[in-house]
Structure formats: structure tokens, C-alpha cells
Structure 1
Amino acid sequence: MVVYACSQCDTVLTSRVSRVALPDHAGQKYSHDLLPALLEPGTYVVDPGDGHPWQPEPEPHGVRLQTYHITGPPNRIGIAPGDLRGTVFIPDRLGGCCCGWDGQYGPNLACAGCGSPVATRVDDCGFWQVVWLTPEAVHPVAVAGPAQQVIDWTELPTTPPVDPCGEWRPEWEAAAAVALTHLLAVSGGKRVSVPEGLVSEVFRRTIDGLLPPGPSERHLTLTGPGLPVTATDIALIPRHPQTGEIWPCDAEAVVPLAANVWTYLAFHDRRVAVRHDDPPPLLPRTLFLPDGRVFLGALQRMGPLRQPWLRRIHDSLIRQP
């Protein structure tokens, strides 16, 4: 357990926090709604980033689009806004936003002790609320506290796919987008079959649109804690929400998926639940689509796209998102 302090004057800037895995939706821009906090209180993440500051998108016909490249300096540290201490706002870096701050002008929080810029608060509409500590402006200090309790694989959390308004949850759209990049990478550019039901609803349409037509040559199977062990060439497995580790299995290839989404896919079949639950689970109003911006970002972070099918997919999305 650590606190983060100012590198210039050692003023403590956070409460005690423990590290967890970076969520797939950390860089997501979603709709025009006010979203909740990205992280649970008492936790922090490290975002490797891509080294580029946030940039506004091009302005076609003089219209400023409210979308941004959600990136930042390498290894920035994310915390829940409520875990911030000892800072003040930098007034000339708070403009140009809608319902809050998106950090497009750089760090907007300074150390209350010495005035050095140390962090960027993001809480504008469409952004998950978070404070990003600038890595070179802060340093960790080990402190006494209870050891982090790592949950067992049998205790993974679960998140329903649909919100009370009948919309697909943005966490699901981001998690599916990241998983799809792994699935495409291990597919070898060949057709992939997926299990029927909600897994098919989440992945089938996108796979059909991105991979060549024809009979399936690879097969995706849900594999993980609490499920029967089955032989498969591609396993859809959970990624631990705290450690970031993936479920160990003997499949030829694996596709990691956020644990809270994987758990729902593995143990909730809406076709059965609708008939027996009272009240029945919420059903979506639209067909599922992964988050295109998250998908493209995850695809670019995979490194040089040497495989021709990945390059074609990447280039087609750049031309027509």
C-alpha cells in the first residue's frame, strides 16, 4: 500500500491506495452522459499510454467535434477523485469543456505545497471520472496498512450487460472491443465460430464483418473457473480485475476478457432467465456493437501490424470508422 507525494516538496497528494489492473474502458469516450468513477476508492492503476498528449480530433467544416484521443504520458497513475489530497486547481487550464473538465489543456491540478502541476482531473460528460497523476511529478511512498485482499477466481465480479434505460453498458462495449483485438490476432485471418447465445450476440456480427467469409476454421469456447474443461483451439478466458493475470489453461490460443463481463457470459443465459426470472432481466433496445474507438486504440497498441489481415482491418477502420 502506498501514498503518492509531490516530487518537489513531498506534500502527500493521495490517500492510501493499492494497485489494480487497468480497466479496458479507461480510455473510453462514451455518449454525453455523466459517467461514474473509473476506479474503486483506495485503488490505483498505471496506464502505459502511448506517449502522446490528448489531442482534439480534426474539425471538419469548422465544426469542433467533442471527441478526443484519450491518451497521455507513459505510465501515468490513475486514482479515484475522492482519493486526492493536497491539491488546488490551475484556473487557466479549466476551459473549453462542457459539464466538467476533460484535461485537454494538460495538468489542471497543482500541489498545494509548492504550486507544481501534478495531476489532471477528468470528469466531463462522456468521460469516466478519474484523476491522472503525472508520473514525473509524483513519487510513491510505502505506508502501513492492511494487505490487499486478492479475490479468488471463484469470486469474480459480474456486471449485467444492459443498463436501466435498455442501453448496452459502455464497460461491455469496451471489454468486447479489447477482446476482439486478441481474437483477431490469434485467428490467423481465418473464420472463427463462437458459442450460441450472448457470446454470439456480442462477437458474431463484428467477426462476420472483419474476417473473410467461408466455413469456420477456428473455434472459440468459453473456458474458465466453474466451467467444464473442454478441448478447444481458442479459449475465451477471464482476466483478473486486480492482478491482471489471465486464467491458466491448455488451449492453443487464449482471448482474455474483463472478468466482470466473462462471468456474466459464462453463467447467465438470458434465453432461460427470461422464462423463469421475475422480474426478467433487462433486454437491450439495439444490437450490440463494440466500442470502435477503444477497438482501434487496442489494435494500434498491439505493435507493428505485420499480419496482413490486421493491417487491412486497421486501415479500413481509419478510412471509415
Structure 2
Amino acid sequence: MVVFACARCGAVLTAAVSRIALPVHARQTYGHELLPALMEPGTYAVDPEPSGPPWRLWSEIGADEAEARSVFAPVSALSFGAPGAIVLAPGDTRGTVLIPERCDGYCMGLDGRDGPNLACAQCGQAVATRIDDCSYWQTVRLAPDAVRRLPTDAPARRTVAWETLVEERQETPPIEPPGVWSPRWEAAAGAALAHLLAASAGTPVAVPDGLAANTFGRALDALFPPGPPAKRVALAGPALPAPDLAPDIVLVPRHPQTGRAWQPSGTAVAVPLAADVWMYLAFHNERSLVPVTGGTPEGVLRDDPLPMHPWRLFRPDSGVFLHTLARLPAVRQPWLRGIYDRVKAQPYARPF
């Protein structure tokens, strides 16, 4: 584990934290409400992309310069801030103070529009940006050139094996009270959907029945032209048996610590999916609940309380979908660029 300190004076600015992968919902904006912290306590992630001001419009950049920055389709604007921001939960910061003249926001808090808004309390150097406005997952982003990483005496967290992840099974339920789809599911599906389209090479695909069909099937049907599916999608990963028929594309978990996707055997194209969502799809028991009399027999699920049901159809997050797809080289293919342009022009049209 490490702490981060001010690069100018050496004051410690964080609790001891351990590195994990940047969550897929890090770039999501959701609803008009205050969201919780993006990162779990005691963890940090490194954002490989530039972030924060200055921003440049697409008309000022052009396709060639954007491709040099691994962006392959038009976006509204690109950040020309420094890459490599250290992202952590606000509660893991230490020894910082707000910079009053940089505390602007849209609605209920800070959105970081003016650049770093936290300074080192000891020397006054701007070191981080706190974001806690409505619609944003709450974060503190340490500027990579303003801090330095220091080792601690705390033991390093080991990388959890896939088998252990399956045993511990950290799942995120798809539905939250009072019956709304989880924003984390919407973000995970938006990112995976972009990879699914690229893996399909323009050919309609069929996904498994059940929750996977609710999550991806409707979106794929809306984005592809009508026609019989020519490729099969299946779940693959640790502790899952091989499917009876070899699929063309497999949805595999993305390791929450390393960010690396589980590697399948065979020739199927692997599409990464957030591990907490994949675990639920792969292992959650979806048997119908049945009433019983007397004591509940072993292995029978109770029907009290009744399971929650969503009040609307599932919609992948269009913002996460567009962000992911714009950074896949496959989007340069005319058929996929057409889908990107259509969704960008109408981001809330079916299926989003």
C-alpha cells in the first residue's frame, strides 16, 4: 500500500491506499441526484486518459490529432489536461483545503470545471480536484505532477485469484429500491455493448435468454438491421462449464484489481464485462419463487419478501457506450461509425 504526498513540501495527502482498476462507471453521469463515492475506501485507481481543463472542441482538433490520442470518432471536446490522475474516495484525503475561487459547480456541489480546487494545507500548492456535484460519482483526483507516491509499512494487498473472486462472489444486483435499474449495471452494459458490436463485425448476434437478453438483447436488436442472428454469445469465465455449442463471442469478467479480462480458451472473441455484473449474470439463482406450507424445505427460496421488479425496460448508458466506442479502432468501419453517429445524434432514443 502507498500514500500520496505533496511534491513540493512532502506533506502526506492521503490515507494508505491500494491500487485497483478504474471502475467502468467512472465516466458515467447519472440522474439529478447526489451519488456515492466512486472508489471503495482504501483504494485508488489511475486514469490513463487526460482529464480536466484545458478543453478543445472537435472542430479545433481534427481527426488526425484525435487518432493520435486514441480517439477514432468525433466527440464534442477533448481534455488536454495531464493524463494519469490518481482517483480516490474523498474520505481518503488528508491535509487539503478548498481553493474558494475554484469551487464552481452546476447544481449541488463541485464539478471541477475550473481545474484543481484542493490545495495542500501545508504549502498551498494546488494538488487535486474534488468532484461531488449531482450526477457525478464522488471522487478526488490528485494531479499526477503535483504529488508523489510513497511506500508505507502496511502490507500490500495481494491480487485475488479468479477462483477466490468466484467464491467470495461480490455481486451487484441489477435492481435497486424502489425498482430502478442499477446505474452500475447500465454503465457496465454500455461499455460491454460497444465491445460486443465491434466483436460482431456487423453480423447480428444472439445472446442467452434471461437477464442477459434483457440487458443486451433489446439493444442489439435495435442497433442491428433485422435478420436472423449469425453469431452466438455466451458467458465464459472461472468456474463456468464450457457451453454445449462453441460460441463466437463470450462475455468474460474484468478483474476488479488488475483490469485484465479473463482469457478464454478456443477461438471465441472475448468481450470484457465488469466483474460484479458478470458474477450476477453467471451465478445468480433466477428460479421462480413458490409458496410453501409449514417449514421451508432445504434449497427452496422463500417468496417473502417478493423480489423487486423494474418499472421500465433496461437501458444501457449511452454516454459510457459512446465514450467506449469512440476509443475502439473498429468504429472507423462505416457500418459501426453509422451506429455511433446515430446514437450520438439521439442519445436517448431506443434502446437508450
Q: 1:272 is paired with a residue of what secondary structure?
A: coil
Is the CA contact (8 Å cut-off) linking 1:118 and 1:138 kept in structure 2?
A: yes
- 2:214 maps to which residue? 201
- 1:142 maps to which residue? 151
Mind listing any 5+ residue stretches in structure 2 that lack a counterpart?
58-75, 292-300, 348-352
- 2:249 maps to which residue? 234
Q: Is residue 2:274 matched to residue 1:248?
A: no
Amino acid across the alignment from 1:250: S
Q: Please report the RMSD computed on the Cα atoms of aligned residues, expressed in angstroms.
A: 2.2
Single out whichever of 306-315 and 20-29 deviates more from structure 2.
306-315
Deviations 1:13-33 (A, max 9, x none): 111111001111001110012
Is the CA contact (8 Å cut-off) linking 2:98 and 2:117 kept in structure 1?
A: yes
Match of 1:169 among 182, 191, 204: 182
Shift of 1:239: 0.8
Deviations 1:101-124 (A, max 9, x none): 111111110111221111011111
Q: Quick one: distance in 2 between partners of 1:16 and 1:273? A: 45
- 2:315 maps to which residue? 289
Amino acid across the alignment from 1:226: A
Amino acid across the alignment from 1:89: L
Q: Quick one: distance in 2 between partners of 1:290 and 1:219? A: 20
Shift of 1:69: 7.8
- 1:258 maps to which residue? 274
- 2:223 maps to which residue? 210
- 1:24 maps to which residue? 24
Match of 2:97 among 88, 92, 108: 88
Shift of 1:164: 1.0
Structure 1 residue ranges (4+ consecutive) displaced by more than 3 angstroms after TM superposition: 50-57, 68-73, 273-277
Amino acid across the alignment from 1:204: G
Q: Is residue 2:39 matched to residue 1:45?
A: no
- 1:279 maps to which residue? 305
Match of 2:339 among 290, 313, 317: 313
Cα 1:50–1:302 shift into 2, 3 Å = farther
Q: Quick one: distance in 1 between partners of 2:247 and 2:23? A: 27
Q: Quick one: distance in 2 between partners of 1:83 and 1:25? A: 20
Is the CA contact (8 Å cut-off) linking 1:4 and 1:140 kept in structure 2?
A: yes
Q: 2:181 is paired with a residue of what secondary structure?
A: coil
Cα 1:82–1:298 shift into 2, 3 Å = same
The number of residues matched between the two structures is 311
Q: Which has the larger radius of gyration?
A: 2
Cα 1:304–1:211 shift into 2, 3 Å = closer
Match of 1:118 among 127, 139, 150: 127
Q: Is residue 2:232 matched to residue 1:219?
A: yes
Shift of 1:149: 3.3
- 1:62 maps to which residue? none
Amino acid across the alignment from 1:238: P
Amino acid across the alignment from 1:239: R
Q: Is residue 2:43 matched to residue 1:10?
A: no
Shift of 1:49: 2.0
Amino acid across the alignment from 2:252: I
Q: Quick one: distance in 2 between partners of 1:93 and 1:273? A: 54
Mind listing any 5+ residue stretches in structure 1 that lack a counterpart?
58-67
Q: Quick one: distance in 2 between partners of 1:176 and 1:279? A: 28
- 2:118 maps to which residue? 109
Amino acid across the alignment from 1:291: D
Cα 1:193–1:98 shift into 2, 3 Å = same
Q: Quick one: distance in 2 between partners of 1:254 and 1:33? A: 35
Q: Quick one: distance in 1 between partners of 2:219 and 2:53? A: 30
Q: Quick one: distance in 2 between partners of 1:220 and 1:52? A: 38
Cα 1:80–1:51 shift into 2, 3 Å = closer
Shift of 1:213: 1.7
